[in-house]
Structure 1
Amino acid sequence: MAFQIMTMTDAAADRVKAIVENSGPDAKGVRVGIKKGGCAGMEYTVDLVKEPDARDDMVTHGGASVWIDPAATLYLLGTQMDFEVTKFRSGFVFSNPNQTSACGCGESVELQAADLAELARQKQAAEA
């Protein structure tokens, strides 16, 4: 069994479905990636998917589809995507074990690539 790159909470799946429903008949889901930017060095990206890229991995949960940019895979392994609404903002949030720090405003993060050998050891231990 392969590693699941990312998981979604019910709240994230509900928000993805709402985005798709409000974006017209061509919308299929969203695509998550990372880009250089912000004061901590990297930012998560979430874009509407109308035409899926065959190179992307896909995660589904509760009827929602999220594609993952292959350039972001090593940085997103083990990440949980959530959606939260607070008094001051609403948006997707990512609980990422590969995050080493974040800026004070929370808009950018510092990420390191996942340790594949450690993930393999954890998977073997769980299966034993």
Structure 2
Amino acid sequence: MLTALARRRPRLPALSLCHVRTVASESSRSPPAPPAVPPGVQRARPSPRATKAVIAITPHAVRRLQDLLQGPTPRLIRIGVRNKGCAGLSYHLDYVDKPGKFDEVVEQDGVKVFIDSRALFSIIGSEMDWKEDALSAKFVFNNPNIKDACGCGESFTVGAQP
């Protein structure tokens, strides 16, 4: 009975040992190497780009920051938040020479502002403005993340977006 089944099966063409070696050597090849770059020519590396800055700076704030940079001692600003006030957090601005290790750098219209990495969640999406009136002159933040603020406006609380 086995001989009858063996006869009905179609026969495959015989492969020579030489052909088998050729097929095996072609399948074990590594993918082709990229073309060689001539010496002295560097490839352009793609750089990730943010589509939107962490914080927007109004023209009034840009002018004030430019004035700070053109003064006798150029000063850059680092924005952070501290636990303070009745609502929980308050903005804290420092003069710095260079960013911290994990600070976010926001550059707009030729001025730089550094954002403390621990303050990113609280500040992201905000707008920084400069306000002057008869009694004060200060940077003001319009923050869409604020869920609660104290009556005097010095401190705030942020929460997750619904």
Letter in 1 for 2:93: V
1:23 and 1:107 map into 2 onto residues whose CA distance is 30
Give the Cα–Cα distance (whole angstroms) in 2 for the partners of residues 5 and 68 of structure 1. 8
Counterpart residue number, 1:35:
82
- When residues 23 and 91 of structure 1 are mapped into structure 2, their CA distance, relative to the original with a 3 A threshold, is farther
TM-score, normalising length from structure 1?
Answer: 0.78
Q: Alignment partner for residue 8 of structure 1, among 53, 57, 72? A: 57
- Whether the aligned pair in 1 keeps the contact of 2:99 and 2:105 (CA below 8 Å) is no
* Superposed CA offset, 1:19-76 (max 9, x none): 2333615x3x211110100121110011112122231111112221100001011111
Give the 3-state SS of the residue equivalent to 1:4 in structure 2: coil
Give me the whole-angstrom Cα distance separating, in 2, the residues matched to 1:45 and 1:63.
22
Structure 2 residue identity aligned to 1:74: F
Structure 1 CA distance for aligned equivalents of residues 132 and 148 of structure 2: 22
Contact 1:12 1:81 (C-alpha < 8 Å) held by counterparts: yes
Q: Which moved more, 1:75-84 or 1:55-64?
A: 55-64
What is the Cα deviation at residue 88 of structure 1?
2.2
Q: TM-score, normalised by structure 2?
A: 0.63
**Partner residue of 2:132?**
85
Letter in 2 for 1:106: G
| 2-structure distance, mates of 1:99, 1:21 | 33
Name the count of aligned residue pairs: 113
User: Would you tell me which structure has more strand in proportion to its own residues?
Assistant: 1
**Higher relative contact order at CA 8 Å, sep ≥6: structure 1 or structure 2?**
1
Please list every run of 5 or more consecutive structure 1 residues that lacks an aligned counterpart in the other structure: 119-128
List runs of 5+ in structure 2 lacking aligned partners. Answer: 1-48
The SS at the match of 1:101 is: strand
Counting aligned pairs with the same residue, the percent is: 35
